[in-house]
């Protein structure tokens, strides 16, 4: 019965479906490429994407990025760079998803004395070491014509009024020509 409950819980969290780029409030279109961004800080949004885990509680701002390629050419995304630019022009580079688990350092294990004086170590799992962080991260390397890609970028900052997401490094696959940069206000 507990196995069925575990599968059901996993099925609920895996049901996350990002909206289309054109449906996001914060978006920009350049040369038939639309990028939409959405910071996930509200409890309802966070729960749909990350389940019980709330990265924002640990000073990690998850930002959903959806890229729609309406051109007739494939786009390389392997050099895509994301920056969070604050209202005072402070820049925060995206933290790679595989490193988010190390943002919160290990806590010292608690020790209690068990029966007969033998110590028992109480360990706590790092909450940021969850499959949702890497599993929902933006990982697309190539975007074919007419397709879309989505995923989260993680920033070690809080959401600030007047901030923007700056994205660059998108190139045409055939020619290597870099596309325009995207600067999307939040």
Domains and CATH numbers, the chain: 10-102+128-185 (2.60.40.1230)
- Summarised one tens digit per residue, pLDDT across range 142-180 is 999 999 999 999 999 999 999 999 999 999 999 989 888
Percent of the chain with pLDDT over 90: 55
Asked whether 91 and 145 are in contact (CB, 8 A), the reply is no
Rounded Cα distance, 108 and 106, in Å: 7
Residue where the block lists tokens 């997401």:
165
Any residues with CB less than 8 A from the CB of 15 and at least 6 apart, and which?
Answer: none
Torsion on CA atoms 95, 34, 161, 129, rounded to nearest 10 = -30
pTM value is: 0.80
């Amino acid at each position: 019965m507990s196995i069925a409950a575990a599968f059901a819980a996993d099925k609920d969290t895996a049901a996350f479906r990002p909206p289309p780029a054109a449906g996001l409030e914060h978006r920009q279109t350049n040369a038939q490429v639309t990028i939409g961004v959405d910071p996930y800080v509200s409890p309802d949004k966070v729960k749909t994407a990350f389940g019980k885990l709330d990265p924002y509680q640990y000073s990690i701002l998850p930002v959903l990025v959806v890229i729609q390629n309406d051109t007739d050419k494939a786009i390389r995304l392997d050099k895509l760079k994301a920056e969070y630019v604050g209202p005072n022009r402070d820049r925060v580079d995206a933290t790679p998803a595989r490193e988010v688990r190390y943002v919160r350092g290990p806590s010292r294990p608690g020790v209690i004395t068990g029966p007969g004086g033998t110590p028992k170590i109480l360990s706590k799992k790092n909450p940021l070491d969850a499959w949702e962080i890497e599993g929902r991260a933006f990982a697309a390397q190539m975007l074919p014509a007419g397709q879309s890609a989505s995923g989260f970028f993680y920033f070690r900052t809080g959401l600030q009024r007047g901030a923007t997401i700056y994205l660059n490094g998108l190139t045409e696959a055939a020619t290597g020509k870099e596309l325009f940069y995207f600067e999307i206000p939040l």
